[in-house]
Structure 1
């Protein structure tokens, strides 16, 4: 085993996934936001919402292009950096990998048709129908790739006899116990993140002095959707905790710094570890028992039940805290905004509150990153839980550090390039200019 190769392979994979997850999240969530905006516009005969869909669709193309590149890179790196893992897992879980590619092609074909035919339908309802396959394809692409990730956490559908795979059942491997909670969590958090990101853009425009009704409508619609998906995320997160308690108790114990098996287990938030002792933490009595078993008194398995070498890194505790704190914070902000609209609270339109909403966009991205770090780092030391460690699945090549430099440069170019392109696209075509142009054509 080449320890240097394992280390750099993990770093490169971490960098790649951390970059890709941003564009993958946009790729999954934005089509739903476009579809809802266009549907609301058609239903209410409001051209502002239809214009939202049109403008968001233009920006979506840029993020899709970057997502395709980074997604291709991930496929390449799986084979180059983790050949031993792919040799084993590829025989069992290749079906959803193939189906993910098919789902992407399905999405891309209809996206092209949807964009090309904006002004070719007198009936907007018919044009909206073209977006349904785009949204379905985007979400199903996430579903299939998440199934692969779920398999890594809960492998099944095969037997290992003398180091050889036998009795391979691809469908059993696909529908493993981790699938329901993982797939639901990935989809709903993507929708939530995109809602808050688009809301933050609208709030930024309003905060900078634009008082256009278009931005107000966009902010209201996205905050309402953000609230709905935040509630759904909290509910699914609860089920995820119960899944971990049953199938990956070591991961739950590490995330909660639950070192000793006990009843009436408290939920530990924040804090630091000092020689194995938890200091400066906030403890919520009985909450971990409830999260794990829907009972305030039931026993929760601690890390004392597992060999030290199988303990996940204790740092995932902070990833869990960041993810949950941001999620609950955004749920609170969205609730305050919606109640404020209903009760006509004046501070909802203040700069300081809109600034909080603006922060919600990048905070939601941070929560997505923290969630994926929790998912991937929390599985360590396994790449295929119970069967293959990360070290056993890695390449022995000594050139991975050089690959890290090259791919980091690629991600920097893609990241900066996409941001600059999107900024120029909308700066050169502000909403006032586009509405004036469409009004001159009698479309608004």
Structure 2
């Protein structure tokens, strides 16, 4: 049997700084480049200045040019009809182009990642045309990640279509697996978003608090509608505590103006977003790492099944974790089950203030949480084990 070659279709790829791109980088970084190729509607050509951070993978990148689209209109309901026709056109054109790449690269398995409405059905069609196994990698829920109702409807139709011949759905957590098993009785395969940090030992070197006279609450990552009200609660909780020594540091691509437009304003410092290595270093200087998810947002179904890529890093950092997320979310469930952080699952600043106070005042609690977090990180987010399981999945589907 010839060597397996994986085709990965994703709207974001390394070296993009998104959690999805970083997870793909970790799953592929030490794999021989002839065993995979990467396909995206974004152009990852070598002249892209984003490659300066060294996170470009050695495998072959393929760019899917923009598809021709019909002009849109809004009169007499024609806008939605045109949108549907454009999606069908986009899927058909993209499927044809992906098929050509699969044949050129002699791919034996196709994986389509969520994040683009057309990618999964187009990649599925291409896999059917050349007769190779297809997997959906659900970094987020393919149906519910869309806030526009008609897009959700189209995603639901597309998902039913591709599930007819999908070998399996790769999911980052148990809640996502349950959602797909319930909707389609689909075979799901748990592949958590792996951590970069586990096993370094660096986390034991930073005292608590990291700086005399200051308590640093740190968040690293994007801030969007799946986080907004949790951050507003954090600012309100700090006002309730009335302590001038507690400072919030946010390392994000969002600007202060953008955050303030969402009502997130107060004693916080906004820093530029970080590379993965630099992010790990900053996390290990936190006195509290903040992991928020929204209680009221247009994508509560996504919040429930969300597996933030930073979770493994936070657990491996050796710093106290403060989770502020709904009780029915995976993040709250997991951290409660593992005892690896303070979980505040009420949408109240008062409850969040009490959670912060417990971390600040209870040294035994901090020690216990850190011990449990280290166990959870090594058990569930270790990169070598996750990468091995990921590739074994595709070997099994080939009968190898």
Task: Please indicate the TM-score interval, normalised by the length of the shorter structure.
Answer: under 0.3
Q: Tell which structure's C-alpha radius of gyration is larger.
A: 1
Q: Which has the higher strand share?
A: 2
Q: Normalization by structure 1: what TM-score?
A: 0.25
Higher relative contact order (CA 8 A, sep 6+): 1
Q: Which has the higher helix share?
A: 1
